[in-house]
Structure 1
Amino acid sequence: MSGWRQAGLNYIHFSRICARAVRRSFKPDIRVEAMKRDEGFIRPIYWKDGKAIVIKKPTQVAAEEKA
């Protein structure tokens, strides 16, 4: 069994940790650009009664309240 599996990680978590370690090992001038790639772009979708619910961002809600 793989070491990362024994540690309770799945492959996605393991590869993300490895990628972050590699990005941190870069020289400072390259590190800035590389660290931008570390940010995730996951958009959760919530479901209710078999349909997707649209969750508004706090900035959108604040703008609608002002109008």
Structure 2
Amino acid sequence: QYGISPHDKIDFRIEGDRIVLAVVKTLRDLRGVVPSRGGDPALERGAAKEAVGRRVAGEMT
């Protein structure tokens, strides 16, 4: 009904007096959710992709 399925990653956003739920499908969807350490964006993106890869590999075992 709401376009949200089991195991979906959900972003909770506050917009005024409302809470908006959004399904997160890509790293780009998460932009701004995790604070930057002020480093090189390409290195941070690579580190995030590695972390996602490790998590997915762990879910497959």
> How would you bin the TM-score normalised by the shorter chain?
0.3 to 0.5
More helix by share: 1
What is the TM-score when the length of structure 2 is the normalising length?
A: 0.33
Larger Rg: 1
Structure with larger RCO (C-alpha < 8 A, sep 6+): 2
More strand by share: 2
What is the TM-score when the length of structure 1 is the normalising length?
A: 0.31
